C-alpha cells in the first residue's frame, strides 16, 4: 500500500458526516468500527483535497460510504476547540494503532499530521436506509447502523457531533421539509407521523398532525395501500417533485 500522501490534502481541516437513516420507527446513524485500536468507533469522515471544494469533498466521502449520488446534505456546524484531537483521550490510542496497522503507509510524520489539531466541518445527510449499501474505508473493520440514542462512545468529539446534527435536524425538519428524504418514495401518513416522533422523541396526535402536514401542500395523494381490507386501507402519499 502506498505511503499516506498528506500533501494532497488541506492541512488541519477535516469533514465528519452524520448519515441519518430511518427504519422500524427509529432514527439511526451510520458509524464505523475502526480496524486499529481497541474498540474504536467513529463517524465516516475524511480530508479535503486541495483540488476540491468542501461540499465536493463531503459529497465524495458520502458516495464512497453509501454508494449513492444526489444525497440530501447539509453543513450544520464547525467544530474547532483549541484542544480538539490533541487533547482527546483517544489520541495516543489512534497514534499507536495507526503505527501498528500499517507502518509502511504511516510513518511518524504522517501520524503527527493525522493526530494534529483539526477543525472539523460537520455535515449531516439524510438517506433512504433501504437503498444504502455501506462501503468500508481503508481503516474500517465494518460499518453499522445504530440507533441515535444507543451509540457507543466514539473517538474524540464524535458523540457531540451527532448530538449537534440531531439538534439541527429537528430545527430544519419543518422549515425545509427535509424529513421525506428518510422515507421510501411512497408512504402512509402514519409512517410520516412515526418518523417525526422518532426525530423529536415525542408523540403527535394523528388528527392534528395530518392536518398540519396536508396543509403544507407538499404531498401528492395516490391510491390506497393494499392490505387485504381495501375499505380500511390507508392512503399512500409521495412528496411532490
Say whether both 145 and 197 belong to one domain: no
Say if 47 falls within a structural domain.
yes
What is the residue range of 197's domain? 183-239
Say whether both 21 and 139 belong to one domain: yes
Say if 220 falls within a structural domain.
yes
Beta strands in 37-183 (DSSP E): 41-42, 45-49, 72-79, 119-126, 140-147
Say if 1 falls within a structural domain.
no
Taking each helix axis from N to C end, the angle separating 158-175 and 189-200, rounded to the nearest 10 degrees, works out to 140
pLDDT in tens, 180-227: 889 988 999 999 999 999 999 999 999 999 999 999 888 988 878 766
Q: How many independent structural domains does the chain possess? A: 2
Instruction: Please tell me whether residue 163 adopts helix, strand or coil conformation.
Output: helix
Say whether both 117 and 41 belong to one domain: yes
Say whether both 115 and 167 belong to one domain: yes
Give the mean pLDDT of the chain.
89
Q: What is the DSSP letter of 1?
A: -
| CATH code (residue 172) | 3.90.79.10
DSSP string, 89-129: TTHHHHHHHHHHH-TTT--HHHHHHHTS--EEEEEEEE--G
What's the grid cell of residue 149? 440514542
Say whether both 120 and 223 belong to one domain: no
Say if 53 falls within a structural domain.
yes
pLDDT in tens, 156-171: 999 999 999 999 999 9
- Residue bearing cell 509502511: 104
Say whether both 213 and 130 belong to one domain: no
Band (174; pLDDT cuts 50, 70, 90): confident
Say if 62 falls within a structural domain.
yes
Which own/partner contact pairs does 232-239 have at CB distance under 8 Å and 24+ positions apart? 234/188, 234/189, 234/190, 235/188, 235/189, 236/186, 236/187, 236/188, 237/186, 237/187, 237/188, 237/189, 237/192, 238/185, 238/186, 238/187, 239/177, 239/180
Say whether both 173 and 200 belong to one domain: no
Closest to 78 measured CA to CA, from 141, 155, 165 = 165
Amino acid at each position: 500500500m502506498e505511503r499516506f500522501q498528506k500533501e494532497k490534502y488541506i492541512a488541519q481541516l477535516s469533514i465528519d458526516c452524520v448519515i441519518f437513516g430511518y427504519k422500524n420507527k427509529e432514527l439511526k446513524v451510520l458509524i464505523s468500527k475502526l480496524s486499529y485500536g481497541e474498540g474504536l468507533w467513529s463517524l465516516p469522515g475524511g480530508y479535503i483535497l486541495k483540488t476540491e471544494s468542501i461540499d465536493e469533498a463531503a459529497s465524495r466521502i458520502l458516495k464512497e460510504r453509501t454508494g449513492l449520488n444526489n444525497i440530501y446534505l447539509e453543513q450544520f456546524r464547525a467544530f474547532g476547540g483549541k484542544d480538539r484531537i490533541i487533547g482527546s483521550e483517544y489520541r495516543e490510542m489512534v497514534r499507536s494503532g495507526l503505527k501498528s496497522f500499517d507502518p509502511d503507509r504511516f510513518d511518524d510524520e504522517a501520524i503527527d499530521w493525522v493526530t494534529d489539531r483539526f477543525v472539523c466541518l460537520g455535515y449531516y445527510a439524510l438517506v433512504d436506509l433501504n437503498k444504502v449499501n455501506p462501503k468500508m474505508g481503508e481503516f474500517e473493520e465494518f460499518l453499522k447502523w445504530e440507533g441515535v440514542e444507543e451509540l457507543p462512545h466514539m473517538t474524540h468529539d464524535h458523540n457531540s457531533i451527532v448530538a449537534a446534527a440531531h439538534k439541527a435536524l429537528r430545527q430544519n425538519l419543518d422549515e425545509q421539509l427535509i424529513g421525506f428524504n428518510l422515507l421510501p418514495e411512497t408512504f402512509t401518513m402514519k409512517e410520516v407521523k412515526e418518523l417525526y416522533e422518532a426525530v423529536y422523541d415525542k408523540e403527535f396526535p394523528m388528527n392534528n398532525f395530518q392536518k398540519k402536514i396536508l396543509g403544507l401542500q407538499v404531498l401528492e395523494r395516490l391510491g390506497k395501500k393494499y392490505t387485504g381490507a381495501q375499505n380500511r386501507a390507508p392512503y399512500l402519499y409521495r412528496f411532490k417533485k
